[in-house]
Structure 1
Amino acid sequence: MNSQNQTKLRREIAAAGTAAVARNGYVTAIDALLATGWLRPEKVEDWRRGRVPYLEQVTVASLSKISTTMRIFRSWAESEGLRPSETVYVSWTRDRRRLRFSKSGDPNIERAYRTHWRPPRMNGHRGEA
């Protein structure tokens, strides 16, 4: 991926991330992938409903591009002072099984996908619990 494409990707991730934090109080790797256009909301729903074995399977980008996106996303989140909060993703099926994100199933990659990034709590400010 050339530097011009990476610059565009950084802008897309920053815009989507800022909007997600304003809307939800946190931002996710899924938000970043949706911002690229490589992942469609209906494909996320298919994955959540257990119709897809892992999220990367329905992301229309190479593993290299996905990896670059994840690196840029984490870098952006850290530069914004957001703090990581690992979350469990379970399917929207009766068995509520844990969802898998990556083809490899590598624990570090799975953790990166599961991590939500939240703004730090303000002193004297009562935010959501």
Structure 2
Amino acid sequence: MTAATPPPHDGPPPHDGPLVVQPLKRRHCAECRCGPLPFLVMEEGAPRCLDCADLGHLVFLPRGVTALTRRARAESGLSAVVVRFHRRRGRYERQGVLVEEAALARAEERCLADAEARRRRRERDARRRAAEDVRFTAAFAAEIRRLFPGCPATRAEAVAAHASVRGSGRVGRSAAGRALSEAAVASAVRAAVRHVDTPYDRLLMEGVPRHEARRRVRAAVDATLREWRTANGA
């Protein structure tokens, strides 16, 4: 067989260390005659069952969880790669590994410990983000009150809460919004007035184009903003 010639469908490709094959055809062990074999090892061109190949004490770990596979192989004194021939692709593909059962148990414990650590970290991060969001929303509301002293406090808080929702893509989460720029804050207030204090939403529902709907309510929005810009507006 030349280097360019693919191995037989049920024969293992070149590989360092123990290699186990999931056969596509019904195969029996050439030594003990048991079968059909779910796994086999090719020795001197003949299939052997795992027991005859001294691998019968190993357990199969399917591919899929890289960290678990890596740790199980590191913990296991003896391990083997399991492959199966893919007819359409014309090559052997890895299906998992065989490892010692105790090694797998230890690897699972380590992965569970890591998962618990990740869970605790996610909870800490969530609490930190929540605290940051509360502080940012309060700062946004304070900036609204500074720019629009006549805006009722409850409205300022509502506008800030709406505009600063994390992941919403609203103006409060933009770079300008996070910097509390006057333009971003004013834009959030204008949008809130447009939606809450004018018939803008009803116009959209009636099929009025967005730009035309904005034109129709612009005077009412501007009037409210002028009123809120004075300290005695509320």
After TM superposition, the score normalised by the length of structure 2 is 0.20
Which structure's residues are more often strand, by fraction?
A: 2
The higher radius of gyration belongs to: 2
Structure having greater relative contact order (Cα 8 Å, sep ≥ 6): 1
TM-score with structure 1 setting the length: 0.30
